[in-house]
Amino acid sequence: MAQTILIKRSTSTATPTALSNGELAYSASSNKLFIGRPGGASGDIDAIGGKYYTDIIDTAASANTASKLVLRDGSGNFSAGTITASLTGNVTGNLTGNVTGNASGSALTVTQAAQTAITSLGTLTALQVDNLNLNGNTISSTSGALNLTPTTGSAIVLDGTISVDAGVVTGATSITSTSFVGALTGNAATATKWATARNLSLTGDATATLSSVDGTAAVSAALTLATVNSNVGSFGSTTAIPVVTVNAKGLVTAASTVALATTLNVAGDTGSEGIALLTETLDLEGGTGVTTVASTNKVSFSIGQPVATTDNVTFNNVTVNGVLNSDDVTAATMTASGNVVVQGNLTVNGTTTTVNSNTVAIGDSIMVLNNDETGTPSENGGFEIERGTSTNVSLLWNEGTDYWQINDGSTTSKIMTAGNFAASFTGILDGGTF
């Protein structure tokens, strides 16, 4: 038997007052189709179609009819009253009223427009505005001076590089004139002599005087360093080390010595000793199971076996109060009273894995059950929840019927899917009325 799915409908109510997300409804009163807005709450409803809208499309025509859609005729034309738009391309025919915006292409004659309504023009061979004439590459004045006045804070820029700002010219690589009035800044290409010779002096941690400098010849002078430390000589000995003070300029401002310690004090778990470095020797002695060997300016400590990271080391009982890091630990039984962190993969080869914790966090997005099945499937798989004194509930895949099923503790029900819907359900799903 075929399935029939009905949606909500009404012959008297124009708009439904409540629809669930994705639920459809049709009103014969308003001739509109509605849907509950996805992601919204009950009552968020959109009109998405219906006879009301198809009638509007069917009555569209090329004539200038108020409150109707415009449909082009067989030649692609239509009639219209006032058009407000940005037009691209050529305009053929007569335009009446005010025209604003840009016009390009063929020449456009604008009538019935005030001077202030003309905001731009196309290509002109010449243009006269009051006393200003623009013709080709020439801007001229037909009466009076030609004034270029930029807005406040801006400059007049010539040839893209020369700037004239409040009477100051910058960016010019060369200016030719027989006389200049005012200040000039920049570098002179040539110079022969200063107008007035000057004496130049250097002061501070070093002094020097260069006399009669006028640019006509090189001038040199001896540089004299200032005395910042009067204590001169050699510093340091076998029992004293030099102490040098250097300022931020790298100058040595003081030099002295400080006595060198000649006694090394050492202390053990019990006892202490002072070693006279110039006359005595420090003896490093091994303890139980540890031997020492002094050779080639070093002392080596060793125990009865190699203890490198790649060696096999044998000890009796070992107690670790901190962190034990290992890539291979073999034991018949392992018990940890604290936390256990496995940085690599964890493989459990036993037959039973028991987790008694109350919270289990798993990073894998897909859990595989019955992973050891390799042939024809024969076992149901899913989840069962322990409910104490109440009957357990479950979500299972039934291999016998190829259905997902839910058990609520008393009844087992199939879950409708796209694959089993037609085979498992016949009848009418009725959305009701509103």
Give pLDDT, residue 178: 72
Q: Which residues contact 397 (CB under 8 A, 6 or more apart)?
A: 380, 381, 382, 403, 404, 405
Can you give the pLDDT at residue 102? 56
- Report which DSSP code applies to 433: B
Q: Alpha-carbon distance 150 to 272, whole Å?
A: 90
For the chain, the C-alpha Rg in angstroms (whole number) is 50
Per-residue pLDDT in tens (0 to 9) along the chain, 434 residues: 467 888 999 999 999 988 888 889 999 999 999 998 876 566 689 999 999 999 988 888 888 888 788 888 888 888 877 777 777 766 666 666 665 555 555 555 555 555 665 666 667 777 888 888 888 788 888 888 888 888 888 888 888 788 888 778 887 777 777 777 777 776 666 667 877 888 889 887 889 898 888 878 888 888 888 887 878 878 877 778 888 898 888 788 888 888 777 788 888 888 888 888 777 888 878 777 788 888 888 988 888 788 887 888 877 777 777 777 777 777 777 777 778 888 788 888 877 888 888 888 888 888 888 888 888 888 888 889 999 999 999 999 988 888 889 999 889 888 877 777 666 666 677 777 77
| pTM for the model | 0.31
* Residue 288 near residue 295, CB atoms below 8 Å: no
Looking at this protein, which amino acid is placed at residue 343?
Answer: Q
- Residue among 384, 350, 389, 349 nearest 369 (CA): 384
Residue 273's beta-bridge partner residues?
Answer: 266
Question: 3-class DSSP state for residue 422?
Answer: helix
Going along 138-235, which residue ranges are E strands? Answer: 138-141, 156-158, 162-165, 168-170, 198-202, 206-213, 224-225
Helix, strand, or coil here: 291?
Answer: strand
- Beta-strand pair 403-407/224-225: unpaired
Q: HSE-up of 339 (CA within 13 Å, CB side)?
A: 5
CA 117/CA 115 separation, integer angstroms: 5
- Is there a contact between 244 and 254 (Cβ–Cβ < 8 Å)? yes
The DSSP symbol for 281 reads -
Parse the chain into domains and list their residue ranges. 96-170, 381-429
List the beta strands (DSSP E) in 226-370: 240-246, 252-259, 263-267, 272-276, 291-295, 298-302
How far apart (Å, rounded) are the C-alpha atoms in residues 158 and 173? Answer: 12
